[in-house]
Each structure stands twice: as C-alpha cells, then as structure tokens.
Amino acid sequence: MRVVALVPGGIGDQILLFPTLDDLKRYYPNAQIDVVVEPRSKAAYRVSKSVRDVLTFDFKDRNSLADWGNLVGSIRDREYDVAILVGQSWLLGLLLWLTGIPKRIGYQGKGAVFLTDTVPFKPSQNAAAYHDLLQPLGIKTPSPELTVNVPKLDIEWAQIEQKRLGVNETGYILIQDGSKHASPATGLDTIYPVKNWQQILQDFQYKQPDLPVVVVKEADNEQFVRSLLEFSPEIKVTAPDDIGKLAAFIAGANLMLSTESVPLFLSVAVQTYTIALFGPTEPAKLLLTNDRFLAIKSPTGKVADIPPKTVLEKIWGG
C-alpha cells in the first residue's frame, strides 16, 4: 500500500503526527508512507521512524496554477492508494480529487466533498486528534505515545558534546526558551522573562551546585542566552545544528525545562523528565498525558505570569 499525507504547518505539527504515521506502519508494515510538507518543516523527518520520502511544497506561497498542477502531477505519478489530508482545506481537498487517488481521507468540513472518507474534526492539536484519521483504514485503537527515531550519528554527536561540556558523568539540567515562530499557537508570545529564569537558576544552583545547567542556543535566542551567561557565567551552552542532534542531547538530560516549543515535543518523545510552561495553550490540547511530562499552565493565559516560585515547587516537589 502506498500512502501520501499532506501536512501543512511547522515542525511541531509534523512531530505531533508521528504517532499516527507510526501506528499506520505498525498495522500495515509493508506500507510505503510519503509526506508533502512545507520546506521549513522537512527537517522534522530526520527523526521519523516511518516516512520513506518527503516532498516539499509551500502551501502558503502565492502559487500559480502551474505550481499546483506540478504538485498534482508529482503525486499522480507515484500512484498512491491512499491519501491523508491533515487539516481542513477546500483547495487541498480538490487537489487530492484531481490526483485520482482512490481513497482520500480527511476531516469533515472544508474540502470534505472531495474526499472518500471523513472523520469528525476536533479543535485540539494533539496526536489523538490526528490518529482519528486512521479510522477509515480500520485502525481504531488509542493513539500511541509520541516517539522519535534518533539517528546513530546524532547520538554519537551528543556523546561528544556532553564530553566537551564536561557533563557526561554528572548529568545536566537543560533549559530551552521557545521562540515565537516555533510555537504552534502562531502569533502568541510564549517566551518566559529572563529575570524569571534567573531566579530559577539561582535557586537551583544553590540547592544542586554540582549538577550543571545547559542552555540550548538557537539562531533567534542569542540575547536570551547572553543574558543568562551574564547572570551566571558557569552555565554551559549547546547549539545543535539539526533536529536529530537536538533530540539526542535532550535525551541525555536529567531534566528539561521548556516553554511551548519544538524541543518540548522532542523531550516528551525521548522520555526525558520534562517541566513545561504554557501560556494561552491548554496542555491537554497539545500533548497527551505522560508520567514524565509535567505542565504548568499560566492562570492568566500569559506564560510570563507564571511565578518562578511555582516552577521551583514543581522541580523540587515533582
């Protein structure tokens, strides 16, 4: 069986789909699964267990009829048996109809008239909502846990990085402050104030002086990292250059402290003990419950309003 999934959205949206694709592969081990994603999201599939090929198409660009026609032609040439549309889109529903794929699965609502099988749409973004798309294929079990497949070379990189930082024997706490572009809640600020992080660091280093703290440096959080280093020069910095290395380094941490972000999803997937700070997003609408994942939801809907004291209570009290 040849399957193609059309998955608009960012890297976080792709990772939340992994349990669905993994379960599809588990029930149909001979299935060949491809995806069509935006160029910015292709990197997510470095840590996918089940996807064979990744096609890119910028769904949000001002595409010409020729661009759409080329996409239809590319999909049609691969002779897929099943297409899965993640999200609701009249245009993408029409596109799938034009490909001639015999079984076209998606949500009820926009574009459903062009599909052969539909399931009710749920407003949540979590893996369980995506997993419902497998029902027309006879898969009606609960969604499995979020997992990723970290390449061996990335695991080896993480081991070398841990030695470079001097944390390979002591273990370490990892801090990651999400950027606005990485948040599935587009346009909502999920950045926790530096002064709050500094209070958490101060308390942590007082109570656990021998356990290093490592901060993840990204292209758009250099000022955040610089501010933490000015406050606490002994903090260590890592800058993985792809999602596989990042996942491998997160997997080696004793604890991950994060705001709503792609690294948060990776931390849950590799089963690192994770404490996450949420602003406007309801944690249950994004991630399934996990005994190694603890969410702190802001009472005001603004992540900046979570007191450092609340975070510290969760760290020390679990």
* Highest mean pLDDT of the ranges 77-81, 181-185, 201-205: 77-81
Tens-place pLDDT, residues 209-234: 999 999 999 888 888 899 999 999 99
What SS3 class is residue 94? helix
Kindly give, in sequence order, each residue whose CB lies less than 8 Å from that of residue 92, ignoring residues fewer than 6 positions away. Answer: 6, 8, 59, 85, 111
| Domains of the chain, earliest start first | 2-137 (3.40.50.2000), 152-317 (3.40.50.2000)
Tokens of 233: 């020069």
The radius of gyration of the chain from alpha carbons, rounded to an integer in Å, stands at 21
Tens-place pLDDT, residues 14-66: 999 999 999 999 999 999 999 999 999 999 999 999 999 999 999 888 888 99
What integer pLDDT is reported at residue 91 of this predicted model? 92
CA 144 and chain centroid, separation: 15
Kindly give, in sequence order, each residue whose CB lies less than 8 Å from that of residue 291, ignoring residues fewer than 6 positions away. Answer: none
Kindly give, in sequence order, each residue whose CB lies less than 8 Å from that of residue 293, ignoring residues fewer than 6 positions away. Answer: 267, 268, 274, 276, 287
The HSE-up count of residue 110 (CA atoms within 13 Å, CB side) is 8
What integer pLDDT is reported at residue 244 of this predicted model? 97
213-216 β-sheet, strand order? 236-238, 213-216, 173-176, 255-259, 274-278, 293-297
Decide: residue 14, CB within 10 A, 0-12 exposed, 13-18 middle, 19+ buried.
buried
Which candidate, 106, 243, 300, 264, places its Cα nearest to that of 184? 264
Q: Provide mean pLDDT across the span 289-310.
A: 90
Which candidate, 10, 66, 62, places its Cα nearest to that of 39? 10
162 with 168: CB under 8 angstroms? Answer: yes
Kindly give the residue spans of alpha helices, DSSP state H, lying in the chain. 11-27, 65-77, 90-99, 127-131, 152-165, 194-207, 222-231, 243-251, 262-269, 308-317
Q: Using alpha carbons, list the distances in angstroms from residue 263 to 166, 176, 178, 284, 305.
A: 22, 7, 8, 17, 22
Which candidate, 210, 183, 213, 188, places its Cα nearest to that of 198? 213
Distance CA 89, CA 265 (A): 26
Tens-place pLDDT, residues 116-170: 999 998 877 677 779 999 999 999 998 888 999 999 999 999 999 999 999 999 9
With 80 as the cut, is the pLDDT of residue 260 above it?
Answer: yes
What integer pLDDT is reported at residue 179 of this predicted model? 52
- For the four alpha carbons of 32, 102, 117 and 83, in that order, the dihedral sign comes to positive
Decide: residue 151, CB within 10 A, 0-12 exposed, 13-18 middle, 19+ buried.
middle
Instruction: State the DSSP string of 115-162.
Output: -SEEE---S--SHHHHHGGGGGGT--SPPPPP-----HHHHHHHHHHH
Distance CA 116, CA 125 (A): 23
